[in-house]
Amino acid sequence: MSQQTLDRAPVPARGHRSGLVLAIILTCQLMLILDATVVNVALPRIQSDLGFSATGLSWVMTAYSLVFGGLLLLGGRAGDLFGRRRMFVVGTAVFTLASLAGGLADSAALLIAARALQGVGAAMAGPSTLALITTTFTEAKARVRALALFSAMSSGGFAIGLIVGGLLTEWISWRAGLFINVPFGLAIVLLAPRFVPEPERRRAHLDLPGAVTGTLGVGALVFAFTHAASDGWGNAVTLGSLAAGLVLLAVFVVVEARTALPLVPLRLFADRNRSAAYVNFFLGPMAMMSMFFFLTQFMQDIRHFAALATGFAFLPMAVLIFTMSRLVPRLLPRYGPKPLAVGGALLMVTGVGWLTLLTTESTYFPALFGPLLLMGLGAGLAFAPLNVIVMATVPNEDAGAAGGVLQTMQQVGSTLGLAVLVTVFGSVTRSAGTTGAQLTVDGMTAAFATAAAFAACTVLVALTFRRATASPRP
């Protein structure tokens, strides 16, 4: 695709075109998010087909989410500097090619490499999705509606990935979960240059020191928690990785404070509501990942659900998240972010806390159905306002960086949260005296208890929101 095609800015979206622009952007966002979980229910078959070890299998998920989260900040700033639509299109193209390569992979190493390359493409396209919504939809009500739908895709995409993965794995093959991205990715690459407006960009450097220290710092922390799950916290490699991650992140903050055009402009955190929204977009996914990772294993390994049934078990949660996304644009201007965020967070705490009562004999109704309903309702209320809070008043020149930080919080939160919860699960199963299914469930309920603590922290953060009405300015 020529540079002229990528640079050509179409007439700003109006009327029916605004719906098409939003559909293109949301389709890309959904595709990027659901790929974090679309292979989750297929992991047993992937392990059997490609000969993964028990410990190596988790990298099918981690390789994608870690690279995605680690490079999002760089992708956000690159979109601000080189053109958000260009990064959106190029990133989607890379993601699509990587999806094709992953579906064709005939070894464990090739699949992990393809998943990592998917993460690179997602990090290039992801921040631009949110920035393009902010700069395309300038009327207040239209922007709130678009951001609420974006939030539904971001929160519900994890659950939709499980449903789609279950369907494709049961009916076709686990490879279809990767191949399905190809036609949607091609459509986005062809339609976006024609219909999605290209905002004005500015040229400058990419803050490579910040990119290196930030990415390596997050990666070291995730590796430390993952390593602790198998080798314990007394292991030298675990402690060394943890210390390196903390030092690198401290250096990252210093670099960002002294750089003229940083990956993360610290002024983004000057607003109290925006800072609290960022923190909750980090803590919330830490709690929610326990639902997706451990519940899929509980259903398949303990209750012997098929892959298809496992995927559809999450349907109530996905439906509620999307339902709430339609209501939040009406509720947010009236009540402001605080009541919605606090109420949603409390529902999430209740839902995850309910899962700590699971036993080997627990059935879907009500032991799983009830928590899934509460989590769907809670996530829809708690997360939909956060996108609006973050993007409502951010300057256009920082829109890509702001979107990159928000999605980084989500991806790094889910990745780091999963690493922490796997560590808790591993410590319980190593030290407990029971065996078999009961031992597995004991580890899962301990992980759910930890996730409930993360969710409780989101309540405390939500209490700091100002009560002012969240109505975004164009």
Report in angstroms the alpha-carbon separations of 126 from 38, 297, 433, 456: 17, 29, 45, 28
The answer to whether the beta carbons of residues 343 and 455 sit under 8 Å apart is no
Q: What are the pLDDT digits (tens) for 349-405?
A: 999 999 999 999 999 999 999 999 999 999 888 887 887 788 777 777 777 677 778
Residue 469 confidence (pLDDT) above 50: no
Q: What are the pLDDT digits (tens) for 39-61?
A: 878 887 888 898 877 657 777 87
Q: How far apart are CA 133 and CA 118, in angstroms?
A: 23
Mean pLDDT value across residues 160-188:
91
135 versus 30: the higher-pLDDT residue is: 30
Please give the DSSP secondary-structure letter assigned to residue 54: T
Identify the pLDDT of residue 9. Answer: 41
Q: What are the pLDDT digits (tens) for 143-161?
A: 888 888 888 888 778 788 8
75 versus 443: the higher-pLDDT residue is: 443
Specify whether domain 15-207+259-462 bears CATH 2.40.50.140. Answer: no
Identify the pLDDT of residue 435. Answer: 63
Identify the pLDDT of residue 128. Answer: 86
Q: How far apart are CA 124 and CA 94, in angstroms?
A: 9
Domain boundaries, the chain: 15-207+259-462, 208-258
The answer to whether the beta carbons of residues 137 and 325 sit under 8 Å apart is no
* Band of pLDDT at residue 1, cut at 50, 70 and 90: very low
**Rg of the chain (C-alpha set):** 21
Identify the pLDDT of residue 11. Answer: 41
Q: What are the pLDDT digits (tens) for 293-327?
A: 888 889 988 999 888 888 889 888 888 888 887 78
Which among 167-181, 347-361, 401-415 has the top mean pLDDT?
347-361
* CA 149 and chain centroid, separation: 15
Identify the pLDDT of residue 35. Answer: 84
Q: What are the pLDDT digits (tens) for 218-236?
A: 778 877 876 776 677 788 9
Closest CA to 352 of 287, 281, 437: 287
* Band of pLDDT at residue 467, cut at 50, 70 and 90: low
Mean pLDDT value across residues 69-75:
78
Identify the pLDDT of residue 6. Answer: 41
